[in-house]
Structure 1
């Protein structure tokens, strides 16, 4: 593990240079904002016996590499459900928000269900790869040919702490990985022509271990508006799904 993306100073998260987006060298990477929101909601509203079932992250404003604050609010706290929101700000104002649903764990019902099967990809043995001229600030293994039709698949692994030297929790890990559902489902032979505005991650369970597998299972677009869907796995089996919306963007991803 190398230096964290953010340093905590007087209630703010101060970004390091490698917190930048591939779209622009002076823009915060959107995946990190979802990670900060997940971290804050988990630390302030998570509890034993509750399972994170959904996280929706809205990324409606780009921000330079400015200090970030995250404020959370408990919206509902019932016997079986807890709902919490988070607002993400910089000095330029609100740049994103998130909403999480936590459900009370209980006895698993009997009977058969149409369960999503585990994929057939083994954990990677080769070194991680780069994306063209851009070296991602996380470990990445391509399992399919980006230029060909059919499901795109990758393994992901965090290589930096999110904040200071804190361990990154499984919930925050999968929240960070969820942002990659957009380029994986909306990209193609001509690169990534859509930039995502949000993502909704739903989880049957938290991932185990450091590796998170993502498989793009659908894309639709018309008039410059796109939606994509992915299935998330760990080395044991499937853990959840992610749905993203995205808009056509003429700004090409940054080359280092």
Structure 2
């Protein structure tokens, strides 16, 4: 897949993912993805949309987010439109569309928002106590990912996110356990909300647990679904990720998501796989 290349505004190390110009969001170079220098990494637009859906949900909690990519998202100005498909005191169904400036939809999203409550649970239904996951290591291991050494210096997988591996690495094929953090604001000086932080990390599931190389294959996710038991606390999201692909060119990547206190949810990606 390829996309049209767009010039970037001057970017600094601490620049946000997007700059706002009235109702338009202009991506910075930190949003760039691994497949084409003119396309965004999926974590950037999904985080932007999640920020809007969180605002639309009000006091309700986002329990599920589903994103459908209609194709590569070019690095170009975008708009976000939201609507409430099903209002309700206990359960809402929300929708968002990310489009280019001429109205062409690029990304569709739906979210289930549930009213928070207090529920007494019998012993058999109570969450199983788990040991807290290991804290993020003091030092991070950042890209370049193997096979991407000739890519531009800025990108979501290089400068946009911080990665700290517990198991696996960017140099290894197979399952991985990695702490991830979005170390910058999302839009101008607006920090990412918890759901946006999760989206920015969850779209890396297929990349950190790849089973084929970036230089030899495409393994692009066509969607991203996230279910959340609760909002993550803090900036860090731990992903236990695994990828499975078939010779038919179809695959999936699944991740269990944690914060520093324990599990918070799961994510799933459907993969389109081809040899380069």
**TM-score for both structures, normalised by structure 2:** 0.82
- Aligned residue for 2:3? none
Counterpart Cα distance in 2 of 1:148 and 1:96: 29
Q: Residue 195 of structure 2 aligns to a residue in which SS?
A: helix
Find the aligned partners of 1:41 and 1:72 in 2 and give their Cα distance.
7
Deviation of the 1:119 alpha carbon: 5.9
Cross-structure match for 2:271 = 246
Report what 1:68 is aligned to: 78
For the 8 Å contact 2:33–2:41, the answer to whether it is kept is yes
Alignment equivalent of 1:142, drawn from 141, 165, 169: 165
| Alignment check: 8 A CA contact 2:79 2:100 kept | yes
* Worse-superposed segment, 187-196 or 208-217: 187-196
Q: What is residue 15 of structure 2 aligned with on the other side? A: 3
SS in 2 for 1:238: strand
Alignment of 1:188-227 (within 5 A): 188=211, 190-191=213-214, 193-217=218-242, 219-227=244-252
Distance in 2, Cα, partners of 1:163 & 1:152: 30
Deviations 1:98-133 (A, max 9, x none): 101011222222322464845642221123432333
The answer to whether the Cα contact below 8 Å between 1:116 and 1:238 also exists between their aligned partners in 2 is no
Q: Residues 103 and 87 of structure 1: is their aligned pair in 2 closer, same or farther, counting only changes over 3 Å?
A: same
RMSD, matched Cα: 2.2
CA change 1:20–1:41 in 2 (3 A) is same
Residue 55 of structure 1 corresponds to 65
Gap change, CA 1:3 and 1:232, over 3 Å in 2: same
Per the alignment, residue 197 of structure 2 pairs with 173
**What CA deviation, in whole Å up to 9, does each residue of 1:160-187 have, x standing for no partner?**
21101102111111121111122234x0
TM-score by length of 1: 0.88
1:41 equivalent to 2:64? Answer: no
**Structure 1: 5+ residue runs without aligned partners?**
252-256
Q: Which has the higher strand share?
A: 1
- Range with greater deviation from structure 2 (205-214 or 91-100): 91-100
Q: How many residues align?
A: 247
1 CA distance for matches of 2:140 and 2:187?
Answer: 25
Secondary structure of 2:246's partner?
Answer: strand
Q: 1:217 to 1:63 in 2, by over 3 A?
A: closer
Report the 3-state secondary structure (helix = DSSP H, G, I; strand = E; otherwise coil) of the residue aligned with 1:107: coil
The 3-state SS of whatever aligns with 2:45 is helix
After TM superposition, the structure 1 stretch with the greater mean CA deviation from structure 2, 211-220 or 27-36, is 211-220
For structure 2, the 5+ residue unaligned runs are 1-12, 152-157
More off after superposition, 59-68 vs 233-242: 59-68
